[in-house]
Chain A
């Protein structure tokens, strides 16, 4: 079942949480809502669930207009940030809750309910935990119970609010892979909220980036990372440094240096060039231009070197400017503190100065 929201707007006590958000989540898709805190991503999720009402706009599940439906009628699976497990019930009772509260005519038999609970416990790798209380579970186990409880009612869509936010790094990683697997098995249209870009990019089919109540970009993780649609996305996703440039006749000028590579069409004027580490190739000062590489280079001084698991990340202060960019050092290049280096610009994105 696909989810289609159009032009949602919402205020909380004078503060705009959403300012006209439209989004289409395809059937069976795993979509991430990514943004800084206060960007409106949780509000959007809660409006889809029916836990909040929007002032404007509509929510469709498939062809059904769900805008006026109550949260019960929407039939969504919702996993809360802090799980919201009912602490006085056992794990099995928690999972069965959504089936037991149904009207008698729609309620499965007692045996069917317990069979469903067992099936979900197995799916969640929680066999034997049915009799425990939430307080006796670890964070990761609670998270899986919360997911089982949401799935028990065969929801139309699955919505998760910061599903891994309260877990430590190791459990996070395991649960990510495992959520991906569950999604592949059950095929629910799934939307999850996160402020962790790694999580969004690694897990989701597509990512929607939110900022100040607006959607900045929707796209596959590669697209988001490689072709950011706005300066905000460029800065929010991945490491990027910002260099002031002038655009003249389609070419970016940094001081007197012409940078040819970032070949986006842009009107003449001041702009910012966003550079990721892989957009730059570090060479010694005055090194010969490699064939096929643009001639324009940035000169600078090394101000820091960090050893990472996969190589060396070098911080370079650009000449005449208080801007530090990061690049990966090729093996064999001497990278002492204070050494003069050059950076070949292989890529990057330019956004006009008026945008953030």
Chain B
């Protein structure tokens, strides 16, 4: 149970006279509010307006279209594979980085962050160059009849690449701050290493883990550029939801495009709500809330 004291609002609202003049304050707030409304809220609202432009019937029809359904299924499947893979990686990497000292640690952290800085298109390209028909391992894979690019494995690999740092990034600063004393205490009390991990470490990091998984999942389901390059756009087969949105949009089927897009927008909103809730309720237990 978190200490109520630790959940103070982070905003510094002061009665101090040393602040901006009221008019300046109003201008700044107005700028922020109008800018964000025009830039963020308007596009978001537009998605739902366009999706429902021809009524709820057309909306529902677009979502139950067989190609749309397979796209939804594929997106869920890809996320269901990619997110756990990055979860395990994130926990392993942060365990090693946060609980132990070794040379080259900060370089390793930089490498973990690397995929953030790589264009999604480049992320897709590298897998095509590695596993594609003309790629390094292409001929070898073909001789074994293994299809990676333009198939599910390629989509999963590209998704894992672009979501690679999410969980690790949330855990490393938190676990570094928590140190190793809790685990050591469990060991002195007779717990095995695994037991200490399960009963002490995991509960200590659970909210940060959930936070990381939430963000990782949002990106995994929404990834477009990288997946676009490796998927081959085979309708009803290797089309994820974002790719399906693109196809429908380019076919001028706006209602259907925005209908599928609205599902992804809802995912984004759920992610934001979950994220905000975690920051508000468990701010002390996640690295993000402690800023």
Contacts and interface: CB of A to CB of B under 8 A. Distances in A.
Contacts of B143: none
B189 to A, nearest CB: 3
A135 interface: yes
Contacts, number: 70
Given A82-B181, A87-B204, A136-B1, A51 B187 contact: yes
Contacts of A81: 181
Contact of B184 (A13, A84, A88, A150): A84
Contacts of B181: 80-82, 84
Given A51-B184, A86-B182, A86-B200, A101 B189 contact: yes
A339 B180 CA distance: 58
A77 B184 CA distance: 11
B1 A80 contact: no
A81 B182 CA distance: 11
A133 interface: yes
B20 interface: no
Q: Is the interface of A mostly helix, strand, loop or mixed?
A: loop
B191 A80 contact: no
Q: Which of B101, B187, B188 has the most CB of A within 10 A?
A: B188
A77 B182 contact: no
B86 to A, nearest CB: 24
Q: Give the interface size class of chain B.
A: 20 to 34
Contact of B188 (A71, A88, A133, A136): A71
Contacts of B182: 84, 86
A88 B203 contact: yes
B197 to A, nearest CB: 12
A50 B184 CA distance: 10
Q: Give the interface size class of chain A.
A: 20 to 34
B190 interface: yes
Contacts of B3: 135-136
A97 B203 contact: no
A80 B184 CA distance: 9
B253 interface: no
A74 B187 CA distance: 10
Contact of A101 (B1, B184, B195): B195
Interface in B183-219: 184-192, 195, 199-200, 203-204
A78 B188 contact: yes
Contacts of A149: 185, 189
A153 B190 contact: yes
Interface string A78-117: 1011101111110000000110011000000000000000
B57 interface: no
A78 B1 contact: no
B2 interface: yes
A209 interface: no
Nearest to B195: A101
A49 interface: yes
B205 to A, nearest CB: 10
B188 A49 contact: yes
Contacts of B185: 78, 80, 84-86, 149
A3 to B, nearest CB: 15
Given A72-B188, A101-B186, 9 more contacts: A51-B184, A81-B181, A84-B182, A86-B199, A97-B199, A98-B190, A98-B191, A133-B1, A135-B2
The 8 closest A-B pairs by CB, nearest first: A98-B189, A84-B181, A84-B185, A88-B203, A78-B188, A135-B3, A101-B191, A71-B187
30 contacts: A13-B101, A51-B188, A72-B190, A72-B191, A74-B188, A76-B188, A77-B188, A78-B184, A78-B188, A80-B184, A82-B181, A84-B181, A84-B184, A86-B186, A86-B199, A86-B200, A88-B203, A89-B203, A97-B199, A98-B190, A101-B190, A101-B191, A101-B192, A101-B195, A101-B199, A102-B190, A136-B1, A136-B3, A150-B188, A150-B189
